Amino acid sequence: MRIELPKETERLGAVLIHGIQKVFELESGLETDLERPGNGLMIQRMPYEAENEIEKRMAIVIPMRNERIKLVEGVLTGIPNQCLTFIVSNSSRSPVDRFAIEKDAFERFARFTSKQIVLVHQKDPCLAEACRAAGYTAILDEKDGLIKSGKAEGMILAKLLVSLSGCRYIGFIDADNYFPGSVLEYVREYAAGFFIGKSNYIMVRISWHSKPKIIDDGLFFAKWGRTSRQTNHFLNMFIAAYTGFETDIIKTGNAGEHAMTMDLALTLDYSSGYSIEPNHFINIFERFGGLGGKSLSEEIIEKHVQIFQIESRNPHLHNVGKGEGHVEEMTCGAFQVISQSPLCPENIKKKLQQEIAVMQQEFPNSVKPVDYYPSLSGINETAFMEAIREQPYADVIQKCYKRKI
Ligand code: GDP
Ligand code: CO
């Protein structure tokens, strides 16, 4: 891959937020290939070997709930074989056991491709028990004792499993993506961020080049949806309130497609549902921004947290028929986590609360309070591993876990 280096960077304490980077080539050859002179200083080449080395240490997580299997198979096709793949499904088990059908299809896919796929169901009682044994009960439902529904809760579970596998990096890819080529591109862009980054705490977020829509019988390549426009706007206002300079640096407030080093993944606190992605920014500001009189550890100041935002080249086409109130649920989740931060400036908080109140009236079923979950640092991994040892999905994890300890 050949990619532009960040042209601008905003700094907030130990957090470096890099501006959007364009991709110039999806594949730029091998390490030994000679470069012609004139390669600009602002463009970085990531040779294939370097990309491959990073991907061998990267787990890709697919959160899914009642998606069409054909779509998910397409997503699996786009994930390089060297990445360990985790699918966390929250699909319904009755009246039709959709998970059983998924299991059958993905196991077959894994056999055909020799791909290492770990498939789990979010409501597996054994996984809830393992969370309990590991001392991480925040994501469990008080009523039935199982892991709560929600994309964020599935992602947190995945982080736990990936941590056991000893992978250094974790990347997320939604299951409802129509283009396998764009999936491969996202993985390469994650690798490029880790390749360029100089810290143990790196996050890479994808900004879609375009989302094709059919308008008046023609294709229109839209760049921004309403939710991301608004989320980005308020996150930028948040930064500007502290730096004193207006900015438009954040372009990926809602990025479902994102990756991070496991060091960062295990440090962050999380929030529920679709608010998890915008909350990454807020939580990173809270913990590493040095704001509100909070002093930072020497280690963090020295190393920084680096956030890369990479603009993908493939159009992004996903399943858009997710029903009434879906957009509002996402927008509201973002507004809630921004406005509820103790660091949120008063004027921004007020504006957001007004917007939330309007959405609450219009879509009372979609707007729910956000739950907050503590970080995974300090969980008892040995107890978790012990609790899932007998499960079929533990096989791959266990092999990797042994390498880790
Ligand atoms: P959008 O793309 O942002 O509009 O959101 P989607 O509804 O497509 O959700 C993003 C991804 O999260 C998709 O792959 C969904 O199947 C998945 N997802 C949604 N809810 C859950 C859940 O409760 N658990 C898990 N594991 N995944 C979920
Ligand atoms: Co989607």
Rounded Cα distance, 281 and 272, in Å: 14
Tokens 């980077």 appear where?
Answer: 21
- 323-337 burial code (b ≥16 CB/10 A, e <16): eebebbbbbbbbbbb
Is the beta carbon of 211 within 6 A of some atom in ligand 1? no
Give the residue, out of 61, 62, 65, 328, with the most ligand 1 atoms within 8 A of its beta carbon, to mutate for a pocket test. Answer: 65
Closest ligand 1 atom to residue 149 Cα is: 23
Minimal-distance CA residue to ligand 1 atom 17: 64
In the chain, the percentage of residues whose pLDDT exceeds 90 is: 79
Q: Whose CA is nearest to atom 16 of ligand 1?
A: 64
**Structure token pair of residue 4:** 């532009």
R_g of the chain, CA atoms, integer Å: 21
Three-class DSSP category at 247: coil
Tokens of 178: 């129509």
Closest ligand 1 atom to the C-alpha of 174?
14
Looking at the CA of residue 89, tell me the nearest atom of ligand 1: 26
CB 287 within 8 Å of CB 203: no
What tens digit of pLDDT does each residue of 257-310 get? Answer: 999 999 999 999 999 988 999 999 999 999 999 887 777 777 777 779 999 999
Task: Please list all protein residues whose beta carbon sits less than 5 angstroms from ligand 2, which is an ion.
Answer: 174, 176, 318
- The per-residue pLDDT for 18 is 98
Range list of β-strands (E), 173-304: 201-207, 211-215, 218-222, 258-261, 270-271
Amino acid at 264: L
Measured in Å, residue 9 CA sits from the centre of ligand 2 at 29
Other Cβ atoms within 10 Å of 299 Cβ, number? 10
The percent helix, strand, coil of the chain (3-state, each to 5) is: 40, 20, 40
Tokens of 338: 């921004």
Rounded CA separation 54/1 (Å)? 13
Ligand 1: which atom is nearest the Cα of residue 175?
14
Residue with tokens 């649920």: 329
- Among all bound ligands, the one having the nearest atom to the CA of 277 is 1
Q: Residue 200 and residue 6: Cα distance in Å, rounded? A: 18
pLDDT at 40: 65
Residue with CA nearest ligand 1 atom 21: 151
* Ligand 1 and 98: CB distance under 6 A: no
Whether 222 and 211 have beta carbons less than 8 Å apart is answered as yes
In whole numbers, what is the pLDDT of the chain averaged over residues? 93
Give yes or no for residue 176 CB within 6 A of ligand 1. yes
What pLDDT, in 10s, does the model give residues 171-205?
Answer: 999 999 999 999 999 999 999 999 999 999 999 99
pLDDT tens across the length of the chain (405 residues): 999 999 999 999 999 999 999 999 999 999 998 877 666 678 999 999 999 999 999 999 999 999 999 999 999 999 999 999 999 999 999 999 999 999 999 999 999 999 999 999 999 999 999 999 999 999 999 999 999 999 999 999 999 999 999 999 999 999 999 999 999 999 999 999 999 999 999 999 999 877 777 778 888 887 777 888 999 999 999 999 999 999 999 999 999 899 999 999 999 999 998 899 999 999 999 999 988 777 777 777 777 999 999 999 998 888 776 677 788 889 999 999 999 999 999 999 999 999 999 998 998 888 889 999 999 998 999 999 999 999 999 988 888 877 766
Top-tier CATH class for 2-404: alpha beta
User: Does 256 contact ligand 1 (Cβ within 6 A)?
Assistant: yes
